[in-house]
């Protein structure tokens, strides 16, 4: 699969009359070659593509089938890259990289690689689903621990263990309880207050991430039921708009409109979701006003949340199609 992608990417470059594309982002290198760098590495996209790798990565890279060049000094090697017109990942390559190696040349975006990555193929969907299964399983184990574990950190540590024992963890598990739940990216700390517990976790299977959030309440009283119902309804409305042809902004608006009816819109502090795959957050972003058109085969999260005296967030992964298809659907 990577080899086909590599050819398509080289075709794209030619169409744009770019002499050489300089790929630095590990996920893009992996997507195009099957080699996931563990140290600094460069994929030179040109007629005869090649991987520039550190001695540490020689063994891994040489399994890719792409020509490998072991580099002792990247500074010296990168200065030798020729061409009047070069492609870079504009949002990933640093200003310094450009200043040092590319100043004075025409610079073209390699954004089409991340556009390719938006639509998942069969093998990618298999891995994403496998990753989602692990996340759901761990979420179940975490839920079962709620009445016995005493601190947020302990619960998060257990969740990390369970994710890593099965596969890998895609990002630091969030456990935010009681008033901490009103901080969207709270770092686990303090006692576990089971009146309201946000658990946000994801697995990683063969480099592909999953991402799921549930908000639990063992007591279920106070403002919790009202906030929870509003968020669930907002999520349902947003998921319904996850169809090919809708825009990312449509999905975001659907969630926001429901929360407005509940007078909770100003407590919804982030966007409605994001694409997911090799990165936990990738294109398309489901953000306010986005005109990006959703296409069949994209995978996104849908995660409205409200953050008041308590926070509630519910997040699932959805495959875009003629109808939305839930990839996660954890319920006790």
In the bound state with a copy of itself, the residue whose beta carbon lies nearer, of 81 and 244, is 81
Residues 269-298 that bind a copy of itself (CB under 8 A): 269-270
In the bound state with a copy of itself, the residue whose beta carbon lies nearer, of 85 and 325, is 85
Which residues, other chains included, contact 156 with Cβ-Cβ below 8 Å and sequence gap of 6+?
A: 172, 173, 174, 175, 188
- C-beta of residue 235 within 8 angstroms of C-beta of residue 255: yes
In the bound state with a copy of itself, the residue whose beta carbon lies nearer, of 88 and 231, is 88
Cα–Cα distance measured from residue 37 to residue 26, given in angstroms and rounded to the nearest whole number: 6
Tell me how far, at minimum, the Cβ of 221 lies from a copy of itself, in Å.
24
Tell me how far, at minimum, the Cβ of 239 lies from a copy of itself, in Å.
22
Considering only CA atoms, which of 205, 16, 195 is closest in space to residue 125? 205
- Decide if residue 106 touches a copy of itself (CB under 8 A): no
Considering only CA atoms, which of 217, 310, 204 is closest in space to residue 267? 310
> Count of residues binding a copy of itself (CB under 8 A)?
37
Tell me how far, at minimum, the Cβ of 173 lies from a copy of itself, in Å.
9
- Decide if residue 40 touches a copy of itself (CB under 8 A): no
- Decide if residue 141 touches a copy of itself (CB under 8 A): no
In the bound state with a copy of itself, the residue whose beta carbon lies nearer, of 165 and 323, is 165
Tally of CB atoms within 10 A around 63: 11
Q: Which of 164-172, 228-236, 239-247, 314-322 is the region at the interface with a copy of itself (rule: CB under 8 A)?
A: 164-172
- C-beta of residue 36 within 8 angstroms of C-beta of residue 30: yes
Cα–Cα distance measured from residue 45 to residue 21, given in angstroms and rounded to the nearest whole number: 5
- Decide if residue 91 touches a copy of itself (CB under 8 A): yes
- Decide if residue 150 touches a copy of itself (CB under 8 A): no
Residue from the set 39, 144, 223, 326 that interacts with a copy of itself by CB under 8 A: 39
- Decide if residue 38 touches a copy of itself (CB under 8 A): yes
Tally of CB atoms within 10 A around 68: 21
Cα–Cα distance measured from residue 11 to residue 3, given in angstroms and rounded to the nearest whole number: 12
- Decide if residue 88 touches a copy of itself (CB under 8 A): yes
- C-beta of residue 42 within 8 angstroms of C-beta of residue 57: no
- Decide if residue 20 touches a copy of itself (CB under 8 A): no
- Decide if residue 148 touches a copy of itself (CB under 8 A): no
Quickly list DSSP for 130-141. Answer: HHHHHHHHHHHH
End-to-end CA distance of the chain: 37
- Decide if residue 74 touches a copy of itself (CB under 8 A): no
Cα–Cα distance measured from residue 167 to residue 185, given in angstroms and rounded to the nearest whole number: 23
Which residue carries 């090649």 as its tokens? 50
Tell me how far, at minimum, the Cβ of 34 lies from a copy of itself, in Å.
14
- Decide if residue 218 touches a copy of itself (CB under 8 A): no
Cα–Cα distance measured from residue 40 to residue 197, given in angstroms and rounded to the nearest whole number: 39
Q: Which of 26-34, 179-187, 209-217, 244-252 is the region at the interface with a copy of itself (rule: CB under 8 A)?
A: 179-187
Provide the binding-site residues for a copy of itself, judged by CB under 8 A.
38-39, 54-57, 59-60, 88, 90-99, 107, 153-154, 156-158, 160-161, 164-165, 169, 182-185, 187, 269-270
């Amino acid at each position: 699969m990577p080899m086909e992608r590599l050819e398509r990417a080289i075709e794209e470059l030619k169409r744009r009359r770019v002499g050489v594309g300089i790929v630095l982002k590990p996920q893009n290198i992996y997507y195009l070659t099957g080699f996931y760098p563990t140290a600094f590495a460069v994929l030179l996209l040109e007629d005869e593509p090649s991987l520039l790798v550190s001695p540490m990565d020689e063994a891994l890279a040489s399994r890719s089938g792409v020509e490998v060049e072991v580099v002792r000094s990247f500074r010296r090697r990168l200065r030798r890259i020729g061409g009047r017109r070069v492609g870079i990942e504009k949002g990933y390559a640093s200003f310094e990289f450009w200043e040092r190696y590319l100043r004075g040349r025409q610079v073209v975006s390699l954004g089409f690689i991340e556009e390719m990555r938006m639509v998942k193929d069969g093998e990618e969907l298999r891995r994403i689903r496998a990753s989602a299964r692990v996340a759901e399983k761990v979420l179940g184990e975490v839920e079962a621990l709620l009445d016995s574990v005493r601190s947020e950190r302990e619960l998060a540590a257990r969740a990390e263990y369970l994710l890593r024992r099965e596969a890998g963890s895609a990002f630091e598990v969030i456990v935010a309880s009681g008033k901490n739940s009103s901080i969207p990216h709270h770092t686990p700390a303090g006692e576990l207050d089971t009146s309201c517990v946000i658990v946000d976790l994801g697995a990683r299977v063969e480099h592909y991430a999953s991402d799921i959030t549930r908000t639990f309440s063992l007591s279920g009283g106070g403002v919790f039921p009202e906030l929870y119902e509003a968020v669930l309804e907002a999520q349902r409305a947003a998921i319904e708009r996850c169809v090919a042809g809708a825009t990312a902004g449509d999905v975001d608006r659907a969630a926001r409109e429901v929360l407005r009816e509940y007078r909770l819109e100003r407590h919804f502090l982030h966007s409605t979701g994001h694409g997911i795959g090799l990165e936990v957050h990738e294109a398309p972003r489901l953000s306010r006003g986005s005109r990006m058109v959703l296409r069949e085969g994209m995978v996104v999260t849908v995660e409205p949340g409200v953050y008041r005296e308590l926070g509630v967030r519910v997040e699932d992964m959805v495959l875009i199609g003629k109808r939305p298809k839930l990839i996660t659907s954890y319920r006790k």
